[in-house]
Every structure is written in structure tokens, then in C-alpha cells.
């Protein structure tokens, strides 16, 4: 196992930190709405903000990052599932939060399709890079097509008796926020093959 950190390791950690921010904002909104106490909601939040090289186990870089992904994915699923239990109408509020968090990280307005796809891959948690979840099919200046080769999210939601569809709804809103400064949107007919193209 390599004992040296590379840019890709910092990228993975950065994506995890963005999801940590989403968890924190959801918890803040839920407390403001009176859905639960701030103390109860804080249990789902990580307050770790040290740089990666200050906290990672350099003797097990891959394992540490994998565990970090699993932890942030599980806490998001548990938090949202708990908030929606018996209150499905709350999803629209959580979608607002996801959109606003994505908008804070909005992609450059003048980016082309391929550049936007790369931007998305540096902002969305999709397992480890070696999982190869997103495989490009083809691209032009204004379109980018890819296939999702594996579902690396659903099991976190089913494990807490939540709905993977809720995750996809929140992810979709987060992506809308990321693309809010552009003329692009993502569409799919089957949840496996995707296209990023101008509206």
C-alpha cells in the first residue's frame, strides 16, 4: 500500500467534506423547523475539519478513505431517513437544502460538457475512484454521455430502512445546484445511462 498522498486522495476527501457540509446544513434546517433538537441532530454531524494529511492513516490510505466514504454515506442516509419517518412531506424542504448546497459550489458558467462532467466527478461521492462507477461513452463540445456501472449508494439507505429514491432525489437537486450557473442539465431514461447536455 502506498504511503504517499496523491491529488486523487485529496479529491476524495474533498468530496466527503462537501457531503459533510450537506449533512450539517440538513441538521441545521431540521433544528430550525423544529423537527428534532439540535443536540439529537448533532449526532449525525462530523466536526472534523483538519486537512487530510493531518488525520489519515498513511499506512492504509485506501482503507481509511473507503471507511470515510462509508461513514459519511451512512450518516446522511440515517439522518434523512429519520427525519422523513412519518413525514414524507419534509422531503421538499431537504431538496431545497441540497439545491442550495450545490449552488454554493456552482460550476463555471462557460464550461463545456466534458469539463462539467469532470467538475461533477470532483464534487459527488461515488465510491472510490478504483470502483470505476462512471464510464464515459462519448462526448462532444455540448454533450457528454456515460454509464453508471454500479450502485454504490442504495445499500446505505436500505440498511437504515430508508429509500434509495430519496437519495437520488437529493442528489438530483444537489446536481441542479452545481449546474445552476450553466445551460446544462442531466437526463436519464433508465437510471444507468446518462447524458449531460444543454437545455
Q: What residues make up the domain containing 121?
A: 7-198
Cα angle: 112, vertex 143, 95; to 5 degrees: 85
The pLDDT of residue 33: 98
**Residue 32 grid coordinates:** 430550525
pLDDT of residue 3: 62
Residues of the chain under the 70 pLDDT cut: 1-3
Q: How many CB atoms lie within 10 A of CB 189?
A: 8
Instruction: For 134-159, write each residue's pLDDT tens digit.
Output: 999 999 989 999 999 999 999 999 99
Which residue is associated with the grid cell 439540535?
A: 38
pLDDT score recorded for residue 1: 39
Task: Tell me if 69 is assigned to some domain.
Answer: yes
Number of neighbouring beta carbons within 10 Å of residue 136: 11
Listed in sequence order, the residues at least 6 apart from 123 whose beta carbon sits closer than 8 Å to its beta carbon are 15, 18, 102, 105, 178
Q: How many domains does the chain have?
A: 1
In a domain, 22, yes or no: yes
Q: For residue 180, is it within any domain?
A: yes
Within a domain: residue 2?
A: no
Among 10, 177, 192, 160, residue whose Cα is nearest residue 73: 160
Domain membership of residue 1 (yes or no) is no
Amino acid at each position: 500500500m502506498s504511503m504517499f498522498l496523491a491529488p486523487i486522495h485529496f479529491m476524495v476527501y474533498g468530496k466527503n467534506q462537501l457531503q459533510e457540509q450537506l449533512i450539517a446544513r440538513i441538521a441545521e434546517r431540521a433544528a430550525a423547523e423544529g423537527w428534532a433538537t439540535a443536540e439529537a441532530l448533532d449526532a449525525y454531524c462530523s466536526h472534523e475539519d483538519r486537512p487530510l494529511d493531518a488525520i489519515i492513516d498513511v499506512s492504509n490510505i485506501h482503507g481509511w478513505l473507503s471507511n470515510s466514504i462509508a461513514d459519511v454515506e451512512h450518516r446522511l442516509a440515517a439522518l434523512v431517513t429519520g427525519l422523513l419517518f412519518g413525514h414524507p412531506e419534509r422531503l421538499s424542504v431537504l431538496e431545497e437544502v441540497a439545491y442550495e448546497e450545490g449552488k454554493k459550489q456552482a460550476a463555471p458558467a462557460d464550461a463545456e460538457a466534458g469539463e462539467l462532467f469532470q467538475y461533477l466527478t470532483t464534487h459527488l461521492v461515488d465510491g472510490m475512484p478504483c470502483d470505476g462507477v462512471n464510464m464515459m461513452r462519448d462526448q462532444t463540445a455540448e454533450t457528454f454521455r456515460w454509464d453508471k456501472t454500479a450502485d454504490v449508494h442504495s445499500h446505505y439507505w436500505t440498511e437504515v430502512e430508508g429509500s434509495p429514491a430519496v437519495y437520488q432525489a437529493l442528489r438530483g437537486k444537489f446536481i441542479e445546484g452545481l449546474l445552476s450557473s450553466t445551460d446544462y442539465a442531466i437526463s436519464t431514461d433508465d437510471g444507468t445511462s446518462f447524458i449531460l447536455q444543454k437545455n
